[in-house]
Structure 1
């Protein structure tokens, strides 16, 4: 769930992270790396990183399609995989850039496009896309792509899910619909009963902001209670003195320190559970 002010809504008062001209040129030429937050904050850098991904389309059992942007790690060895799920805006260069970063870290990374190529350029458009999504079709797409990643020729068979905001909720939904090995939720809707959580088989990592009025401490506390009731003990929840979408450098609620800490914790979690 997102509100009309979250998920990277406004950059007019947001200072951009500094980047030297020489470093920018080297990154754009593919000769150097930059911190993920820097790449995500600058449209040209995010676009360049996104350009290293490859669009894929996979048929679903019902006759539809599941779409995404794939990033592969260097070399030809086996690697674990991560399925990334976008915010309510739709699949954009920033999410593709995260996939590219995960590939640099040694993962097969696939950023799903649940809107089938559509993208919201305003909060109102994003809300309409989110509300128009067919949950059954979205679940089928995610299950299909998890299976595709497990069967990829370079996959170890281990797959995690990761999502932000709208995608955070769907990261959990995907993990309830099919077996995965790790679930990462960035301030996503987690309203689930113990019965809903019965099918969960993966450890869960959640990042939440204490200032978030929609994905708030009450909701997360009820989720923790439901997890305990369901006997799901492998849950780690981290709280940050931050608002919704605190990890999105393109938004006015971005918190650089908390975003960096959350990303470090996410990397550790993925390494522990996926390899």
Structure 2
């Protein structure tokens, strides 16, 4: 599995607090690499694993249909492998690992936090499909919420339909019931994928408002 890695420059050899950047449907493309680079500029070692590494060229050619080939157990295994690689790396603070992600990556971030106790901060961006399984998964990410052992910062678009406003309320109620510390932000006029400057739904105001909150959240929970 290939991993794009970006580390802080001019700060010596670490160790650095790491953040896993979970890809969107476009894969580990320029947008995802830029997000990793921005985290590195803020002092984090950012890594973006290629979750499509099992795919054939034919499967990759159909961008809109790529996610149908993903399976939750394989996603969990890939995030677990990434965590173990980080924990073994001498330049990494392996006991303070964060995870973020965009679109399907927001779902992956939630799933990673729910299944890996080493993740200490989780920031999903408009993570949809939390109420369904992918592939051979037995439980939905939502059903696995009790496994989350870290604070969660969740970014929503006001006019997004997946996750919808009703989804937000359901997620909020479940995290509250479980006693999981969480912070939600909904951005007026923003749709799904509002961070992705390469797409038609990019929303400048939401993008500019959400990113400092993400950096501050990771700073507070990972930089010790």
TM-score of Structure 1 vs Structure 2, range by shorter chain: 0.7 to 0.9
1:80 shift after superposition: 0.1
Residue 26 of structure 2 is matched in structure 1 by 89
Go from structure 1 to structure 2 and tell me whether the alpha carbon gap of 1:243 and 1:255 turns closer, same or farther (over 3 Å shift).
same
Q: Is the 8 A contact 1:119 1:126 kept in 2?
A: no
1:129 pairs with 2:50? no
Q: Is the 8 A contact 2:126 2:162 kept in 1?
A: no
Match of 2:121 among 176, 182, 195: 182
Q: Is the 8 A contact 2:159 2:191 kept in 1?
A: yes
1:104 pairs with 2:51? no
Structure 2, unmatched stretches of 5+, are: 132-139
CA displacement 1:120-163 (0-9 Å, x = unmatched): 9xx99223210011221121011110121122111122110000
Q: Give the Cα–Cα distance (whole angstroms) in 1 for the partners of residues 191 and 26 of structure 2.
A: 18
1:146 pairs with 2:80? no
Match of 2:6 among 71, 82, 102: 71
1:77 shift after superposition: 2.3
Q: Is the 8 A contact 1:194 1:230 kept in 2?
A: no
Match of 1:250 among 198, 205, 211: 198
Q: Is the 8 A contact 2:194 2:201 kept in 1?
A: yes
Equivalent pairs counted in the alignment come to: 208
Q: Give the Cα–Cα distance (whole angstroms) in 2 for the partners of residues 195 and 134 of structure 1.
A: 16
Q: Give the Cα–Cα distance (whole angstroms) in 1 for the partners of residues 72 and 142 of structure 2.
A: 20
TM-score after normalising by structure 2: 0.86
CA displacement 1:84-126 (0-9 Å, x = unmatched): 0111121112211221221222111101110018699xx9922
Q: Give the Cα–Cα distance (whole angstroms) in 2 for the partners of residues 200 and 86 of structure 1.
A: 20
TM-score after normalising by structure 1: 0.71
Q: Give the Cα–Cα distance (whole angstroms) in 1 for the partners of residues 28 and 56 of structure 2.
A: 7
1:171 pairs with 2:118? no
Structure 1, unmatched stretches of 5+, are: 1-65
Go from structure 1 to structure 2 and tell me whether the alpha carbon gap of 1:208 and 1:215 turns closer, same or farther (over 3 Å shift).
same
Cα RMSD for the two superposed structures: 2.2
Residue 238 of structure 1 is matched in structure 2 by 185
1:194 shift after superposition: 7.2
1:177 shift after superposition: 1.0
1:245 shift after superposition: 0.8
CA displacement 1:171-230 (0-9 Å, x = unmatched): 000011102110011000243687521111110001001101221110111011111222
Residue 10 of structure 1 is matched in structure 2 by none
1:169 shift after superposition: 0.4
Q: Give the Cα–Cα distance (whole angstroms) in 2 for the partners of residues 141 and 154 of structure 1.
A: 21
Q: Give the Cα–Cα distance (whole angstroms) in 1 for the partners of residues 56 and 63 of structure 2.
A: 7
